Amino acid sequence: MNLNIAILSGDGIGPEIIKEALKITQVIADKFNHQLTYKQGLTGAAAIEEVGDPYPEKTHTLCMASDAVLFGAIGDPKYDNDPSAKIRPEQGLLSMRKKLGLYANIRPLTTFQSLIHKSPLRTDLVDGADFVCIRELTGGIYFGQPQGRSEDGNTAYDTCVYTRFEIARILELGFEFARKRRKKLTVVDKANVLATSRLWRQIAQEMALDYPDIEVEYLLVDNAAMRIIQWPKDFDVMVTENMFGDILTDEASVISGSMGLLPSASIGVHTSVFEPIHGSYPQAAGKNIANPIATILSAAMMFEYAFKLNEEAELIKEAVDASIIKEFVTIDISQGAQGQTTSDVGDWIASYIKNK
Instruction: Cite the active site residues.
Output: 142, 190, 222, 246, 250
Q: Is 264 within 8 Å of 274 (Cβ atoms)? A: yes
Pairwise CA distance, residues 247 & 271, whole Å: 25
Reduce the DSSP state of residue 165 to 3 states and report it.
helix
Reduce the DSSP state of residue 107 to 3 states and report it.
strand
Q: Is 69 within 8 Å of 274 (Cβ atoms)? A: yes
Neighbours of 287 (CB within 10 A): 12
State the DSSP H helix or E strand holding residue 187, giving kind and residue range, or none if neither.
strand 184-189
CA distances (Å), origin 170, targets 106, 209, 222, 332, 341: 11, 16, 21, 34, 39
Pairwise CA distance, residues 317 & 303, whole Å: 11
Reduce the DSSP state of residue 276 to 3 states and report it.
strand
Q: Is 160 within 8 Å of 137 (Cβ atoms)? A: no
Q: Phi and psi at residue 261, in whole multiples of 5°?
A: -105, -15
DSSP letter string, 194-259? -HHHHHHHHHHHHHHTT-TTSEEEEEEHHHHHHHHHH-GGG-SEEEE-HHHHHHHHHHHHGGGS-G
The alpha carbon of residue 235 and the mean position of all alpha carbons in its chain are separated, in whole angstroms, by 18
**C-alpha dihedral, 278 to 281 to 287 to 289, nearest 10°:** -30
